[in-house]
Homo-oligomer: A and B are copies of this chain.
Amino acid sequence: MYRIRKSITSDLAHAMISAAEAKAHELGVAVNIAIVDESGHLKAFSRMDGAPILSIEIAVNKAYTAVAFGLPTQEWYGLIKDEPSLLYGITHTPRLVIFAGGYPIRVDGEIIGGIGVSGGTLEQDIACAQAALAVLASRKGGGEER
């Protein structure tokens, strides 16, 4: 009759954003960070001082894409590169981002949300997103789950 879904809390979303921002400060870059829930709806967002405005939408869409397909955005290119109809075609899909910086947020294998980082190089965006995902691991270890 119904399925149980798990949805990221506001509390975790804020903690992940703080962790991403700390990493960005460390790297000397200003990024946009977006967290969406398990349904792809915006949960929390932060644009660091000086982060590029065009990356607002890219960050949100990276998070959205990660949740929408359950894949890190960086895996897309490998999946479509040998099929030209996808490489030239699906890349135009509104909100689909095929480059790095978006990750599903999982607990016990289930997607509870997504994160997208945009504004630095791909490597910087990845590093900030992974710093945010590390918060999740530390919370699980700490028994704070629920």
Chain A interface (Cβ < 8 Å from any Cβ of B): 1-14, 21, 37-49, 52-58, 64-65, 67-70, 74, 76-77, 81, 83-100, 107, 112, 122, 136, 139-140, 144-146
- Tell me the complex Cα distance, A98–B96, Å: 16
Bound-state Cα–Cα, A14 to B6, Å: 24
Question: Quick one: which of A57, A90, A97 has the most chain B CB within 10 A?
Answer: A90
Consensus secondary structure, chain A interface: mixed
User: A99's closest neighbor in chain B, by CB?
Assistant: B85
Separation of A11 and B47 alpha carbons in the complex (Å): 10
27 contacts between A and B (CB under 8 A): A1-B9, A2-B6, A2-B8, A2-B9, A2-B146, A3-B9, A4-B4, A4-B7, A10-B21, A39-B40, A42-B45, A45-B46, A52-B70, A53-B68, A54-B64, A57-B93, A57-B94, A58-B90, A58-B93, A74-B85, A76-B89, A77-B84, A77-B85, A85-B99, A86-B99, A88-B88, A89-B91
